[in-house]
């Protein structure tokens, strides 16, 4: 099997957005989160579980406030950092594969800023502001890359990305470095899983 194209999600795949998440949550709750509490909740993905550990009742209003701050407060994106190894790994892989980024960030310029700020290979960046529309973006990448679906790998922390990719015949790799609580779910729906991006080159060698 010859792999020609790699599609990377950004948040929690190559980007550690933990601090943005914490600050967005503090703004939504109008209170500070102690370091001790943050250690207990930072690896949780779903807001209802986070609030449960904080002994706060989940409501749709809190969710909307959190998402508003997390997705639209531009000042918070300065706290995003690459995961260890993400930059050198992708910059090495671009010598062998076509690189695409597919993100659900609503503010597309924040994706471009992150990629350029940390000197990632500046591949093709697709921003999908509605996760339910990712179908069309996978199709766009298949068409733009002039590749067959089985020649493409999608790397993401999101189980839904894996399900969507596989629907089109794209190989799915789940990474759970940013959210260890998602490991079991990813293992159920992905073709392959890795604990961090540094494991990707060896996996690609084995797949090929």
Q: What is the pTM of this model?
A: 0.93
What whole-number distance in Å separates Cα of residue 123 and Cα of residue 103? 13
Measured in whole angstroms, the distance separating CA 115 from the mean position of its chain's CA atoms is 13
Give the pLDDT mean for 16-22.
96
**Short-list 27, 25, 30, CA closest to 46:** 25
91-118 average pLDDT score: 95
Q: For position 37, what pLDDT does the model report?
A: 93
Can you tell me the distance from the alpha carbon of 64 to that of 28, in angstroms, rounded to the nearest whole number?
Answer: 8
In the chain, the percentage of residues whose pLDDT exceeds 90 is: 86
**Tokens coding 118:** 């940390």
Cα 115 to Cα 15, 121, 146, 165, distances in angstroms = 10, 7, 24, 23
Model confidence pLDDT, tens digit, residues 163-199: 999 999 999 999 999 988 889 999 999 999 999 999 9
DSSP designation for 83: P
CA angle (85, 197, 147) in 5-degree steps: 120
- Assign 112 to helix, strand or coil: helix
Q: In the prediction, which pLDDT does 84 show?
A: 93
pLDDT category at 132 given cuts 50, 70, 90 is: low
């Amino acid at each position: 099997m010859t792999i020609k194209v790699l599609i990377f999600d950004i948040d929690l795949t190559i980007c550690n957005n933990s601090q943005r998440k914490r600050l967005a949550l503090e703004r939504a709750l109008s209170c500070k989160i102690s370091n001790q509490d943050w250690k207990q909740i930072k690896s949780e993905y779903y807001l209802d579980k986070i609030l449960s550990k904080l002994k706060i009742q989940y409501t749709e209003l809190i969710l909307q406030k959190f998402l508003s701050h997390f997705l639209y407060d531009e000042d918070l994106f300065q706290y995003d950092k690459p995961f260890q190894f993400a930059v050198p790994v992708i910059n090495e892989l671009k010598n062998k594969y076509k690189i695409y980024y597919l993100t659900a960030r609503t503010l597309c310029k924040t994706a471009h800023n992150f990629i350029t700020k940390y000197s990632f290979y500046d591949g093709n960046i697709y921003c999908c502001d509605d996760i339910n529309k990712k179908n069309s973006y996978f199709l766009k990448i298949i068409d733009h890359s002039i590749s067959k679906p089985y020649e493409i790998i999608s790397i993401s922390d999101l189980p839904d990305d894996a399900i969507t990719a596989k629907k089109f015949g794209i190989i799915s790799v789940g990474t759970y470095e940013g959210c260890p609580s998602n490991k079991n779910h990813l293992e159920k729906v992905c073709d392959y899983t890795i604990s961090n991006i540094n494991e990707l080159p060896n996996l690609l060698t084995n797949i090929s």
